[in-house]
Amino acid sequence: MLLHILFTLPILCMIKIGSAAMYTITSSQFIKDSQTISSNDDAFKFGFFSPANTTNRYVGIWYLEESNIIWVANREKPLQDFSGIVTISNDNRNLLVLDGQKNVIWSSNVSNFASNSNVTAHLQSTGNLVLLEDATGNKIWESFEHPTNAFVPNMIISTNQKTGQKVKLTSWKTPSDPAIGNFSCSLERLNAPEFFIWNKTKPHWRSGPWNGQKFIGVASRSVYTSSYLNGFDIAREDNGSLVEITYTLINSSFFANLVLTYEGNISSNLWFNGYSVRKGVRQENECDYYGFCGPNGNCDSKNLPICTCLKGFEPKNAVEWNKQNWSSGCVRRASLRCELGGEGDGFVKLETTKVPDFVQQSYLSADACRTQCLNDCNCTAYGFDDGIQCLTWSGNLIDIVKFSGGGIDLYIRVANSELDGKRNVKQIIISMVVIVGGIIFATSTYFLWSRASKRSARRKEAKSLVLNTSQIHRESQNTNVKQVKIEDLPLFEFQEISTATNNFNPSNKIGHGGFGSVYKGQLRNGLEIAVKRLSRVSGQGIEEFMNEVIVISKLQHRNLVRLLGCCIEGEEKMLVYEYMPNNSLDFYLFDSIKEKVLDWKKRLYIIEGISRGLLYLHRDSRLRIIHRDLKPSNILLDEELNPKISDFGMAKIFGRTENEGSTRRIVGTYGYMSPEYAMEGLFSEKSDVFSFGVLLLEMISGRKNTSFYNHDQALSLLGYAWKLWNEEEIISLIDPEICNPDYVDDILRCIHIGLLCVQEIAKERPTMATVVSMLSSEIVKFPRPFQPAFILRQTERREDIDDQQCCDLNSLNNVSVTSLQGR
């Protein structure tokens, strides 16, 4: 940061000297191209600019740099040369953009004046350009009421139901053309207001209803819940027919905006003390597209296929649906009793969803809400949120998304017959009768029956295993073992796995885990899998096996390896995972050739992924889980190098209220275990934080904590890092492979985070939530770390390695370290 200041300060000064800053436009004072007016603090400028890749001239407002345009005046009518001016009209009433021939290119178009006073244009410190009457000081026009593509703090976006008037964002056509593009963003559904992004006239994305604090259709972690925001505020006026939304920041050190991009995405950008700390487009997936799965479809981006019909519904057009054409959606399988004049419909629950569109809201308790829905034949679903209270829907349910966290539970009305699972079987059998006929019927039912009984025998076996392990788990009293039903987990047949892995051919073997071998395989449908097979002979590992089943079958997160199912037949016990083509992190990290694949950006991406996976385990998943064996070999990488935490054999499930456990059986890997765990068997979220810290420092240094040897002292990696930190030489910890002056600030920030994570005293270590915020620069002020644990190497063996020097950064050294500590 200091570095930036050193370089940019003289330039800023030169600009200041070169042209006297102007702050107003009056009837006697206009601006030409190349001139600007500024806000009082000089953060915002109003003047002429050209977007990227065009020479067209536009008049607009930007924050700090011309690339951060927040408003454009003549967006539809660019100037072709540098002859334009901005002035006040001859009648002293309007702001005009004129071309070289004095033609009006753009006008503020105010017509209903209250007085005869002249007007003056000012740029306020919020970035709002206002026209004020000189005599009264009244605002007669403001740019904030005519937004373009940027939503900035204190601006108001609104919809007036009575007049039909909307203040909305409209995208640019392309990054080079500010003319009105295909997308717009406005407030809709005013009884429970939602943000909508429109693609021309079609809904493109929706935020879900506002519950007084947040939009409930936006997954938990996002720009809308950031710590630098005071948050959004929605106001109703005029008996609820006018709804307005605005947002503010926690203080003036920050500036943020939300920009509707030309592709219909929202880009959220944050500056702190004038420095850009985050620019980015929200990560999208197909489920973000409005109604992606059609009416009554349920979109789950973590599922394959991504669309399924809601329970009690079936594809409207099965042929198209199976071709993954979801557009016609699903229809009800069995008529509701209610429609036939009877009673006895019920509800099935869909947890953590983005609720469908066209909600009706009422102030009822959860029970009353259910009753009301049940008594109204048109009601197809209901839900309850503490803020909005009772939500009900009628007709088709559109734009349901299954979240892994956040959202609310949705109760979908179905016919009574859908509630008990029997009907399904009956239906299958009946259709068999029709298709196959009498004689074949007998055989096929026999086949079905024998198959089903085999399956149920296997399920029974699996169930008894669960019971056995619940005894093992007495250690942590409050586990949720009882809730875990192995029925939820798909069961594979031994034969299927055996075929997939070519009879467990040694050439398919890709690893040897803690309790058995791992094979690569391919299912008949082409899906690649990794199979962990418990060694048959020894009974060893069964505890880890069941633990893994219990823990991971309940978890879904993009940074956790996904368990596809298991296979339990006789002696055979196997776990089936999605296959990760890129091996594990240690495979790259500690290999002098392969580590070149991981430049700093990739490493940071991996670090962030791991931190989010861990945060999910600790906080966001329905169970609270301590992994207890986090290390590079347990981080698998998919084809895009997305990290996936694996190996839950040692994980512990915590009750919601427990914070710390203890065990006499200390498992884990030396070098990654926290001191309180290694020595006293105490474990908590903070023991995972410690392991994460070690891993982070390993990723930055490219060296293993346990096999780290330094010339002079018997120091571990942590000890070495601590020594360098105190000598203000921490920069030489950085792996020469990733050393790049552009990233040094980022890397140093991560080292600082790493050192905070490995502090000796668990209480001092940050939580994963804090770590994630630190990594994303939402938190910028870090405490100084205290001494890490295990600074002395606990082995006598010594080995010399090259004292590799990081790229010559001596000159940068002091600057960066001071700026780091200054934050």
Ligand X SMILES: *[C@@H]1O[C@H](CO)[C@@H](O)[C@H](O)[C@H]1NC(C)=O
Spatial contact of 282 and 268, defined as CB atoms under 8 Å apart:
yes
Residues near 323 by beta carbon (within 8 Å), at least 6 away in sequence: none
Of 584, 596, 558, the closest CA to residue 637 belongs to 584
CB count in 10 Å sphere of residue 594 = 12
Query: Taking the complex as a whole, how short is the minimal distance between the CB of residue 225 and ligand X, in angstroms?
Result: 17
Query: Taking the complex as a whole, how short is the minimal distance between the CB of residue 281 and ligand X, in angstroms?
Result: 4
CA distance 528 to 521: 6
Query: Taking the complex as a whole, how short is the minimal distance between the CB of residue 166 and ligand X, in angstroms?
Result: 15
Site string for ligand X, 95-124 (x = CB under 6 A): -----------xx-x-------xx------
- Asked if residue 525 binds ligand X (CB under 6 A), the reply is no
Query: Taking the complex as a whole, how short is the minimal distance between the CB of residue 209 and ligand X, in angstroms?
Result: 21
Cα 157-158-164 angle, rounded to 5 deg: 140
Query: Quick one: 219 or 739, whose CB is closer to ligand X?
Result: 219
Residues near 516 by beta carbon (within 8 Å), at least 6 away in sequence: 532, 533, 534, 535, 541
- Asked if residue 143 binds ligand X (CB under 6 A), the reply is no
Query: Taking the complex as a whole, how short is the minimal distance between the CB of residue 392 and ligand X, in angstroms?
Result: 11
Locus of tokens 């270590």: 765
Active site residue 629: yes
Cα 143-173-179 angle, rounded to 5 deg: 40
Burial letters 149-186, b for 16+ CB under 10 A, else e: bbbbbebebbbbeeeeeebbbbbbeeeebbbebbbbbb
Pairing mode, strands 400-402 and 297-299? parallel
Q: Which of residues 249-308 bind ligand X (CB under 6 A)?
A: 250-253, 262-265, 281, 284
Query: Taking the complex as a whole, how short is the minimal distance between the CB of residue 412 and ligand X, in angstroms?
Result: 18
Query: Taking the complex as a whole, how short is the minimal distance between the CB of residue 526 and ligand X, in angstroms?
Result: 22
Query: Quick one: 252 or 303, whose CB is closer to ligand X?
Result: 252
- Asked if residue 50 binds ligand X (CB under 6 A), the reply is no
Query: Taking the complex as a whole, how short is the minimal distance between the CB of residue 250 and ligand X, in angstroms?
Result: 6
Phi and psi dihedrals of 724, rounded to 5?
A: -65, -40
Query: Taking the complex as a whole, how short is the minimal distance between the CB of residue 264 and ligand X, in angstroms?
Result: 5
Which long-range CB contacts under 8 A does 747-750 form with residues at least 24 apart? Answer: 747/600, 747/700, 748/816, 748/817, 748/820, 749/774, 749/777, 749/782, 749/820, 750/604, 750/607, 750/696, 750/700, 750/775
- Asked if residue 378 binds ligand X (CB under 6 A), the reply is yes
Among 376, 599, 764, 778, the residue binding ligand X under the rule CB under 6 A is 376
H or E element in which residue 71 lies: strand 69-72
- Asked if residue 175 binds ligand X (CB under 6 A), the reply is yes
Query: Quick one: 36 or 773, whose CB is closer to ligand X?
Result: 773
Of 673, 666, 691, 681, the closest CA to residue 757 belongs to 691
- Three-class SS state of 489: coil
- Asked if residue 56 binds ligand X (CB under 6 A), the reply is no
Q: Give whole-number Cα distances, 740 to 729, 747, 748, in Å.
A: 16, 9, 12
Query: Quick one: 135 or 435, whose CB is closer to ligand X?
Result: 135
Among 2, 3, 24, 27, the residue binding ligand X under the rule CB under 6 A is 27
Query: Quick one: 28 or 112, whose CB is closer to ligand X?
Result: 28
Query: Quick one: 361 or 804, whose CB is closer to ligand X?
Result: 361
Phi and psi dihedrals of 680, rounded to 5?
A: -120, -5
Among 89, 199, 502, 706, the residue binding ligand X under the rule CB under 6 A is 199
Among 35, 92, 225, 361, the residue binding ligand X under the rule CB under 6 A is 92
Among 176, 191, 424, 503, the residue binding ligand X under the rule CB under 6 A is 176
- Three-class SS state of 183: strand
Of 652, 528, 633, 505, the closest CA to residue 580 belongs to 528
Q: Which stretch, 14-22, 320-328, 734-742, 753-761, contacts ligand X (CB under 6 A)? A: 320-328
Query: Taking the complex as a whole, how short is the minimal distance between the CB of residue 257 and ligand X, in angstroms?
Result: 17
- Asked if residue 172 binds ligand X (CB under 6 A), the reply is no
Among 524, 763, 781, 797, the residue binding ligand X under the rule CB under 6 A is 781
Residues near 47 by beta carbon (within 8 Å), at least 6 away in sequence: 31, 33, 34, 35, 36, 37, 59, 60, 86
**SS3 letters across 144-182:** HHCCCCEECCCCCEEEECCCCCEECEEEEEECCEEEEEE
Residue 137 structure tokens: 């000081």
Q: Which stretch, 247-255, 353-361, 539-547, 738-746, contacts ligand X (CB under 6 A)? A: 247-255
- Three-class SS state of 463: helix
- Of the residues 399, 620, 629, 735, only one is catalytic, namely 629
Query: Taking the complex as a whole, how short is the minimal distance between the CB of residue 52 and ligand X, in angstroms?
Result: 3
Interface with ligand X (CB under 6 A), residue total: 37
Among 18, 28, 34, 438, the residue binding ligand X under the rule CB under 6 A is 28
- Asked if residue 52 binds ligand X (CB under 6 A), the reply is yes
Query: Taking the complex as a whole, how short is the minimal distance between the CB of residue 498 and ligand X, in angstroms?
Result: 38
Q: Which stretch, 319-327, 659-667, 793-801, 813-821, contacts ligand X (CB under 6 A)? A: 319-327
Amino acid (one-letter) located at 748: L
- Asked if residue 320 binds ligand X (CB under 6 A), the reply is yes
Query: Quick one: 44 or 106, whose CB is closer to ligand X?
Result: 106
Of 390, 473, 509, 488, the closest CA to residue 652 belongs to 473
Residues near 302 by beta carbon (within 8 Å), at least 6 away in sequence: 404, 556, 557, 558, 562
Q: Which of residues 655-684 bind ligand X (CB under 6 A)?
A: none
Among 238, 286, 367, 475, the residue binding ligand X under the rule CB under 6 A is 238
- Three-class SS state of 139: strand
Among 138, 327, 352, 470, the residue binding ligand X under the rule CB under 6 A is 327
Within 13 Å of residue 654, how many CA atoms lie on the same side as its CB?
20
- Asked if residue 325 binds ligand X (CB under 6 A), the reply is yes
Site string for ligand X, 559-578 (x = CB under 6 A): --------------------
CA distance 312 to 331: 9
- Asked if residue 239 binds ligand X (CB under 6 A), the reply is yes
Among 83, 125, 317, 706, the residue binding ligand X under the rule CB under 6 A is 317
Residues annotated as catalytic (active site), given as ranges: 629
List residues binding ligand X (CB under 6 A).
27-28, 52-53, 92, 106-107, 109, 117-118, 134, 175-176, 182, 199, 202, 204, 238-239, 250-253, 262-265, 281, 284, 317, 320, 325, 327-328, 376, 378, 781
